[in-house]
Amino acid sequence: MKNVTISVIQFSKYHQIEPQFVIDLYKNDLVVLHERNQEYFIEENDLKLIERFIEFHYNLGVNLEGLEVIHHLLKQIETLQKQLK
């Protein structure tokens, strides 16, 4: 099964954000991007996570450092929930 990807530029236009925001998420190891022909692409399974970061950043004013903390805490919660099951 082939991974479905979307270009960062298309994604950014759809969400009316700067492509640099998604690239900054990548540079801070918050998301995985793939580079092809000098263009970045997002895997389909990462779209929800990036949309969550957009919500936190643009609507709630959380900076990149804050997004890193939130991401770390959410991963810890997910791990604990799995342990409880």
Residue 50 and residue 31 in contact, taking contact as beta carbons nearer than 8 Å: yes
Residue-wise pLDDT for 47-72, tens only, equals 999 999 999 999 999 999 999 999 99
All structural domains of the chain, each given as residue ranges with its CATH number in brackets, are 3-82 (1.10.1660.10)
Residue 2 in this model has a pLDDT that exceeds 90: no
List helix spans (H) across 28-63: 47-54, 60
Sheet with 39-43, strands from edge to edge, namely 5-7, 39-43, 33-36
Q: Taking the complete model, does pTM exceed 0.95, yes or no?
A: no
Residue-wise pLDDT for 10-45, tens only, equals 999 999 999 999 999 999 999 999 999 999 999 999
Contacts of 70 (CB under 8 A, 6+ apart): 56, 62
Distance of alpha carbon 70 from alpha carbon 64, whole angstroms: 10
